[in-house]
A and B are shown apart, each in its own frame.
Chain A
Amino acid sequence: MHRKATMALAVAAALGLPHAATAQTEDELRTLREQVRQLETRVTDAEQAAIQASSRPTGENAMNPAVSVILNGIYSNLSQDPNAFRINGFVPPLGEVGPGVRGLSLGESELALAANIDHNFRGTLIASISPEDGIGVEEGYIQTLALSYGFTIKAGRFFSSVGYQNQIHAHAWDFTDAPLANKVFLGNQLGEDGIQLKWVAPTDVYFDVGVELGHGRQFPAGPAGGRNKNGVSSGNVFAHVGGDLGTGVAWQTGMSYLSTSPQDRTFEDPTGTTNSFTGQSRLWVLDGILKWAPNYNPTYTNFKLQGEYFRRRENGDLTFDATGAAQTGSFMSTQSGFYLQGAYQFAPMWRIGYRYDKLNSGTADFSAPLNAANFPILAPYNPTRHTVMADWSPSEFSRVRLQFASDKSRSDVTDKQVFLQYIVSLGAHGAHKF
Chain B
Amino acid sequence: MRTTVRFVVALSSVVIALPASAALNVFACEPEWGALAQELGGDKVSIYSATTALQDPHRIEARPSLIARIRSADLLVCSGSELEIGWIPLLLTQSGNPRIQLGSPGYFEASQYVVKLEIPKVIDRALGDLHPGGNPHVHTDPRNIAKIAPVLMERMAQLDPANADSYRSRGKSFLERWQAAIARWEQQAAPLKGVPMVVYHKDFSYFINWTGMREAGSLEPKPGIPPTPSHLAELIDQMKRAPAKVIVYSPYSSPQAAEFLSSRANIPAVMMPFTVGGTDRAKDLFGLFDDTIARLLGAVK
Contacts and interface: CB of A to CB of B under 8 A. Distances in A.
A242 B86 CA distance: 20
A203 B94 contact: no
Nearest to B128: A395
A412 interface: no
B68 A200 contact: yes
A145 B101 contact: yes
Interface in A360-409: 394-397
B129 to A, nearest CB: 7
Interface stretch (A71-79, A220-228, A293-301): A293-301
Given A150-B71, A200-B67, A243-B64, A297 B96 contact: no
A138 B87 CA distance: 23
B1 interface: no
B68 A204 contact: yes
Interface stretch (A10-18, A183-191, A426-434): A426-434
B69 A433 contact: no
B96 A149 contact: yes
Given A202-B71, A397-B125, A429-B85, A295 B65 contact: no
A395 B126 CA distance: 10
A200 B82 contact: no
Contact of B94 (A200, A295, A348): A200
Q: Which of B90, B96, B98, B253: most chain A CB closer than 10 A? A: B96
Contacts of B95: 150, 200
Contact of A119 (B86, B94, B97, B103): B103
B158 interface: no
A250 B63 contact: yes
A116 interface: yes
B61 interface: yes
B231 interface: no
Interface stretch (B49-57, B178-186, B203-211, B282-290): B49-57
A64 to B, nearest CB: 14
B71 A431 contact: no
Given A150-B71, A432-B90, A295 B52 contact: yes
Contact of B93 (A119, A122, A291, A395): A122
Contact of A434 (B61, B224, B252): B61
A298 B61 contact: yes
B78 to A, nearest CB: 14
Interface in A270-327: 291, 293, 295-300
Given A145-B98, A349-B226, A431 B89 contact: yes
Q: Which of A200, A244, A252: most chain B CB closer than 10 A? A: A200
Contact of B68 (A243, A296, A297, A298): A243
Given A147-B98, A200-B68, A201-B15, A297 B56 contact: yes
Q: Which of B59, B63, B64, B88: most chain A CB closer than 10 A? A: B64
A356 interface: no
A151 interface: yes
B62 A433 contact: yes
Interface in A237-268: 240-244, 250-252
Given A206-B67, A242-B65, A431-B62, A199 B85 contact: no
B22 interface: no
A198 B93 contact: no
A433 B61 CA distance: 8
A431 B15 contact: no
Interface in A126-157: 143, 145-152
A203 B14 contact: yes
B242 interface: no
Interface string B108-136: 00000000000000000100010000000
A429 B86 contact: yes
B190 interface: no
A397 B127 CA distance: 13
Nearest to B256: A300
Given A150-B96, A203-B14, A395-B225, A297 B103 contact: no
Given A145-B93, A431-B87, A297 B64 contact: no
B129 A395 contact: yes
Contact of B65 (A240, A244, A300): A244
A295 B61 contact: no
B254 interface: yes
A348 B252 contact: no
A63 interface: no
A254 B10 CA distance: 19
Interface in B40-83: 51-52, 54-56, 59-65, 67-69, 71-72, 82
B96 A152 contact: yes
A433 B66 CA distance: 12
Interface string A204-226: 11110000000000000000000
Contacts of A147: 96, 98
A148 B72 CA distance: 10
A206 B67 CA distance: 7
Given A203-B68, A205-B68, A297-B54, A429 B59 contact: no
B18 interface: yes
A151 B96 contact: yes
A172 to B, nearest CB: 12
A252 B97 contact: no
A432 B60 CA distance: 10
B294 interface: no
Contacts of B14: 203
B102 interface: yes
Interface in B1-23: 11, 14-15, 18
Contacts of B71: 150, 200-202
Contacts of A252: 64
A298 B61 CA distance: 8
B1 to A, nearest CB: 15
Given A243-B68, A250-B64, A295-B55, 8 more contacts: A199-B96, A204-B69, A205-B68, A206-B64, A207-B68, A296-B55, A296-B63, A299-B253
* 5 tightest Cβ-Cβ pairs between the two chains A and B: A242-B64, A206-B64, A150-B96, A295-B54, A206-B68
24 contacts: A116-B102, A119-B101, A147-B98, A198-B96, A200-B68, A201-B15, A201-B71, A202-B15, A244-B63, A250-B65, A291-B63, A295-B54, A296-B60, A395-B129, A395-B224, A395-B225, A396-B59, A396-B86, A396-B224, A429-B85, A431-B62, A431-B87, A432-B90, A434-B62
